[in-house]
Structure 1
Amino acid sequence: MSGDVVRVRPFPLQQVRLRPGLVATQLEINQRHLLGQDPDRLLHMFRVTAGLPSIAEPLGGWEAPDSELRGHFAGHYLSACALMHASTGNEDFKSRSELMVRELGRCQDAIGSGYLSAFPVELFYRLRSFKRVWCPFYTLHKIMAGLLDVYRLTGNAQALEVLRKQADWLLLWLRDVGEDHMNAMLELEHGGMNEVLYNLYAVTGSEAHRDLARRFDHERFFGPLAVGRDELSGLHANCQIPKVIGAARRHELLHDRRARDVVDYFWHQVTGKHSYCTGGTSNKEHWGKPGELSGELSGYTQECCVTYNMLRLSRHLFGWNADPAVADYYERAYFNGILGTMHPADGSKLYYVSLSSGLWKMFGTPGHDYWCCTGSMAESFAKLGDSVYFRDDDGIYVNLFIASELDDPGTGLRLIQETNFPEEEGTRFTLRLREPRRLALRIRVPAWSKGGQATLNGRLIEGFAEPGGYFRVQRIWRDGDRIEVALPMSLHVHRMRDDATVQAIMYGPLVLAGRLGTAGLTSDKIRASPARPFKPPEYTLDALAAPSLTVPSDDPSTWIERVPGRSLAFRTRNLKQNVSFAPLYQVIDERYATYWKVTGAGDGT
């Protein structure tokens, strides 16, 4: 991020290590999943396209030889390996990325033009002629972004060389494409082409790369957003969000105020008018009318790619304004839209988080699916520590309560965070310093937490922050100083804007899912089938109706209670309907409900 625009910056992944706990366990599952991938199978169609020999077994699903999106997961895999190496220091991931880059370079050299993909260049000419084709720029973006991540996070110079050749090919391919023609092509999903090219410009300083990035700025989409007009209804969500991330990079690199206006308005509209209790957004991958979500609950809500990209966008926005509301949103989407989207047994990922009552999380089938979300979530679970800590010239921001350790060699500080959050209502910090040092430590006080307090070396600190702010302690810190922060969590409800009787039950930032059992969930039904591998998994889902809740009060603590002796387990009390609840991220391989029809005194009317 460039200097003038950015107020706070995230600490590099290499400086943050997760400590044992909920989040570290998720990282470990993803490590096993990534190391279980066969590079030769990932490279198979690249080699075939380049005319090189390959005896590997082809992958299935969206990576199959006749899928027009083939190659996209290889790009995600490059990014995930680079991110995982940065997150853990595990050299196996650096070696994997080196092997992939070396072999992709061989494929590029064999083709000879700088072009590199797992499908022939003819797919791009079909796009240019407006013939039916499945998003070739989407796949190109994943490959280019993966190469850039490998260069930036592992120092692999060949990755940058391959990427520059790919950009040179793209410059030539677009040379005779006029602006009207270009804007028409940009109507088809193309990933974050503007973002990756702005990021390449940030590395090379080449005006050609800057100008190429500008060509992928979709002005037809940006125009209404720049003047504060919501025309998102009917648009494909994950087609648009990466464009806005690109606008964020344009603002940071070129100081483009209009691009900032686009980002700011878009983020507030999506999070405020188009998002569910989970922080996720989209139904059947598209947006509906702003503020009208009660009729947008289905088995195809909250595409995981969308949550992944909204979190990436949120990191940029937080960097500009250090707004605790942005950090609150990040936490909500992180716990309800990222955690719980990977199967603990084999690391398979979700496509949708179904929010219609009585459905279940339908994970992919290993080796067969390779959906877009398979790739996005492989990256998400490789960088779970990337937004815990931020910094400015004054000190450190703590945004997430995750057991972790921050190592800042520049200041001689190690900040150790010990917590079992969200099972524990608070967190503890120990500062290890080579010598005393003055800095400000800002700890987020979430909007959902009331009555919090903090102690410094066992003594109560006066003037704790209000909910929705930061608790700031500036002093000369000494080795061994310790802060303990209590962040009380409570039950509350999240009501739909357009129907207050449709409600979700929350505990702190967590969406509580009603556990509805496993009736009808046979082994051949609980996972997505590879039988239709090339289409979005809009599988037939048979729902089990959840009961309506007739409640005596709008305060859920009067009709829901904790189950003694069980972690984050809840149940109704004094209601006709007996329902057990758990955080949504804990619910795997069973039916659940997140939204309820509520009647009685708590119906919100």
Structure 2
Amino acid sequence: MAAFQRCNSTPARSFPRGSVALTGGPLLAALDRSIATALAHDPQRFLAPYRREAGLPAVAESYGDWESRGLDGHIGGHYLSALSHLYAATGREDILERLRAMLDGLQECQDAVGTGYLGGTPRGVALGEELREGRIDAEPFALNGRWVPMYNLHKVFNGLIDAYDAACQDDALTMAIAWADWWMGISAQLSDAQIEQILTAEFGGMNDAFFRLATITGREDLVAEARRWSHRLLLDPLIAGEDRLNGLHANTQVPKVVGYARSGAPDLVDAAHVFWDEVVGDRTVSIGGHGVREHFHALDDFRPMILDPMGPESCNTFGMLALTDLFRQDSSRLDLVEYAERAILNHALTAQHPEHGGFVYFSPMRPAHYRVYSSHGESMWCCVGSGLEGHCRYDRFLFSRDGDSPRVEMFEPAVLDWDGLRVEVRADLTREWRVEIDVAAEAPHRRPVRVRIPDWTDGAVLAVDGETEDVAPGVGEVALDRVWEGTTRLVLELRPRLTIERLPDGSPWASFRYGPFVLAHRDGADDLEGMIATGDGAPHLALGPKRRMIETPAVLANGPDGVLELAAQGATATLTAWRLDGDEPVEVTLALEPYAGIHDERCTVYFPVGESAEEPREMLRRLDLDEQEDADVVDLVAPGEQQSEMDHGYVSEASRIEWIYAARWRMAEGWFSYVLKPRTPGAHVVRIRTLVDRPDGTEGAVVRLAGEVATPVATEQRNIPLYGDIVEALYAVDVPAEGVEVRFEAGSGGATAGVVAVALMTPAS
């Protein structure tokens, strides 16, 4: 292995592995839960789909849910990465034993196939041969009839690289190179146009993985291959400095951009910075997450963020933190640190339950709604995979360095032991705003030690061994350039600022942030159906009822003065607001606390705001009216949305997704179908919405319900926000307990209409 870059290499502004240790607080608790979660899973069950695809006899049953529904093997790749980083963080032998079990099992599978291929993707070996022959049928969430197979295969490819880079397992690098060579043999037969066609389907961070492997091995052919995986659909607008993200699946794009940042190529790195600025500056809500229903919605309309229970996705924030960390290796920009702190404390940490360790898919910004948590061994979503990985790497955000000058960046209990200097941070900002930092030197020497002064504080008082000085607001950091000898105590007394943060589109909704913490109000633990995802399909969506929007208390003031009373210590507050669901406004007093600490309960982060009651009352009533027509919906498919379609048995022939702005629809020159299920069998109505002129269905196009050509009982042309002009057709159908197939077929030589929504409804009373 001497010709390769050594494992555990240290980026320029980071510290060698083992230099930073968590000593308490929520980050250490998250690490401990991650260890327990990793040990609660069985490597042999993760290996089961790999053994099946390699033609080896089964030794354990595969996990269910997504691991048995087409994404077989994807969590196994995440698990490999998680074990690698957990071992690097802890050095625990029981973690290493799990890692070795995975690697030994994967080696057996790769050897059995014999080509270098390694994966659990259904019919994955055959997929390689299909692509080699130029047979490519790609749409955003499917490739040659398989559910995002390259995304799936990326997970094990990247996991092998992690096992070498983080955990120094040499055989993992050998397997990764063999996998890459297998793919290079296929790629050599394909034109750039064919590669671009393959990239239509979600492929995870495949470009990032090839860039990583190229850096380790020094192989220029892998650099060239990584460039071929740079999807022009996303890359070209970014290079031009344009925001064309509306309507795109967010978690498809973020990993691509991590690859651009990793490349070192000026054009790709610049594109990655444009993306970061667009997402963080214009699309991120106060908790540090973005996206609704997994997608980038319209930049100038954040109503979906407030209305839809499927708010920011955990995978997206995981990816944005990875991107931010890459940028931090080349820059001391404080806005990178500010975003990382916001996203970790207010989103990433909240996406893991503090007791049972279940992971969260969506974090609703809808008022008085709730999160759903995975159950170990049953839930196998993408956010379970990124959750397994993400909570063991927070230590990389606590400190940075410029040469021999370290900087304390986040105020969490931790120790940096490096280059003759020991920096220990003690803090609990949820209780008090005092930070203690002990700097101990093995021998007297001079160097700057820097301490970040966050943007959320109105200055601070800094004491160095008892000698105090005021730190003015906005200075960013304090550099103490001195001879360090023995132990020096720094005490930082912060002055946290209360801010009201509007939604990025400027609409009349606001959240409250005190210091680094986004505040929220608890709204009760009633009707939390499905809060723990178990059983058939382990649904990752909150199944309980949504509260009416008019019940959301409104803040009737232009700023914090007079509406918030802050606690004497810690990060809690009391908000004066107004209920507007009666004839007259009613004043209410609401307790606010850090959003990160609210679990197993409904809560509200964003509140409507206005100078008087009339405007927010009218807005809330209008939103309720818009939602009321869906009150009878018992099941709903959103064509063009990956998870919605896969959850409804989507199959197709010659079908594709199209979109403009934030609107998506599916159409086909062949056919496509879904299965919708009732809560109870019996008479129902299927409501189908199709676009006008984008395209209309050609002659001979039909809708089939349960195999029979169906005729609508009513049709109406309407204008729907985000979609524009649509035709709404209602079909009467008797639905059995197992559900009804809704199938759209094109006529001979024609196409179906563009379908934007399919709903199963109870008949109107």
Same-fold call, TM > 0.5?
Answer: yes
The alignment partner of 1:358 has SS state of coil
The structure where helix makes up a greater share of residues is 1
1:43 lines up with 2:47 in the alignment: yes
Distance 1:295 1:236 in 2: 15
1:316 lines up with 2:326 in the alignment: yes
Distance 1:196 1:441 in 2: 35
Q: Hey, what does 2:607 align to over in structure 1?
A: 596
For residues 67-105 of structure 1, the C-alpha deviation after alignment (integer angstroms, 9 at most, x for no partner) is 221111111111111111222222221221122111100
Superposition pairs of residues 221-232 of structure 1, within 5 angstroms: 221-232=234-245
The worse-fitting range, judged by mean Cα deviation, of 346-355 and 392-401 is 392-401
Q: Hey, what does 2:462 align to over in structure 1?
A: 454
The code of the aligned residue for 1:74 comes to G
Q: Hey, what does 1:78 align to over in structure 2?
A: 80
Match of 1:560 among 553, 564, 584: 564
The code of the aligned residue for 1:577 comes to V
Shift of the alpha carbon at 1:33? 0.8
Distance 2:510 2:488 in 1: 43
The code of the aligned residue for 1:167 comes to A
Contact kept? 2:573, 2:591, Cα under 8 Å:
yes
The worse-fitting range, judged by mean Cα deviation, of 357-366 and 87-96 is 87-96
Superposition pairs of residues 137-536 of structure 1, within 5 angstroms: 137-251=150-264, 256-297=265-306, 298-408=308-418, 411-461=419-469, 464=471, 466-467=473-474, 469-522=476-529, 525-532=530-537
Distance 1:574 1:183 in 2: 53
The alignment partner of 2:521 has SS state of strand
The code of the aligned residue for 1:592 comes to C
Shift of the alpha carbon at 1:58? 2.0
Distance 1:13 1:336 in 2: 26
Query: What TM-score do you get using the length of structure 1 for normalisation?
Result: 0.92
The 1:12–1:468 alpha-carbon spacing in structure 2 relative to 1, beyond 3 Å, is farther
The 1:432–1:63 alpha-carbon spacing in structure 2 relative to 1, beyond 3 Å, is same
The code of the aligned residue for 1:84 comes to L
Match of 1:133 among 146, 166, 177: 146
The code of the aligned residue for 1:143 comes to V
Distance 1:181 1:302 in 2: 33
Coordinate RMSD, CA, aligned: 2.4
The structure where strand makes up a greater share of residues is 2
Contact kept? 2:555, 2:576, Cα under 8 Å:
no
Distance 1:502 1:598 in 2: 6
Contact kept? 2:284, 2:504, Cα under 8 Å:
no
For residues 146-194 of structure 1, the C-alpha deviation after alignment (integer angstroms, 9 at most, x for no partner) is 1111111221111111111101101012121110111111121101111
- Structure 1 residue runs of 5 or longer lacking an equivalent are none
The worse-fitting range, judged by mean Cα deviation, of 89-98 and 185-194 is 89-98
The code of the aligned residue for 1:57 comes to E
Superposition pairs of residues 8-19 of structure 1, within 5 angstroms: 9-19=13-23
The worse-fitting range, judged by mean Cα deviation, of 501-510 and 588-597 is 501-510
The runs of 4+ residues in structure 1 deviating greater than 6 Å are 601-604
Contact kept? 2:440, 2:484, Cα under 8 Å:
no
Shift of the alpha carbon at 1:35? 0.9
Shift of the alpha carbon at 1:422? 3.6
Distance 1:201 1:552 in 2: 57
The 1:587–1:147 alpha-carbon spacing in structure 2 relative to 1, beyond 3 Å, is same
The alignment partner of 2:449 has SS state of strand
Contact kept? 1:49, 1:118, Cα under 8 Å:
yes
The 1:295–1:372 alpha-carbon spacing in structure 2 relative to 1, beyond 3 Å, is closer
For residues 359-410 of structure 1, the C-alpha deviation after alignment (integer angstroms, 9 at most, x for no partner) is 10111122112111101111111112111111121401222111001111xx
Contact kept? 2:261, 2:272, Cα under 8 Å:
yes
Shift of the alpha carbon at 1:12? 3.7
Q: Which structure would you say has the larger Rg?
A: 2
Distance 2:534 2:11 in 1: 47
- Structure 2 residue runs of 5 or longer lacking an equivalent are 138-143, 579-586, 617-765
Distance 1:296 1:440 in 2: 44
Identity %, equivalent residues: 30
The code of the aligned residue for 2:532 comes to R
For residues 290-328 of structure 1, the C-alpha deviation after alignment (integer angstroms, 9 at most, x for no partner) is 243244322111110000000111112222221111111
The 1:76–1:149 alpha-carbon spacing in structure 2 relative to 1, beyond 3 Å, is same
Contact kept? 1:82, 1:149, Cα under 8 Å:
yes
Contact kept? 2:436, 2:490, Cα under 8 Å:
yes
Query: What TM-score do you get using the length of structure 2 for normalisation?
Result: 0.73
Q: Which has the higher contact order (CA 8 A, sep 6+)?
A: 1
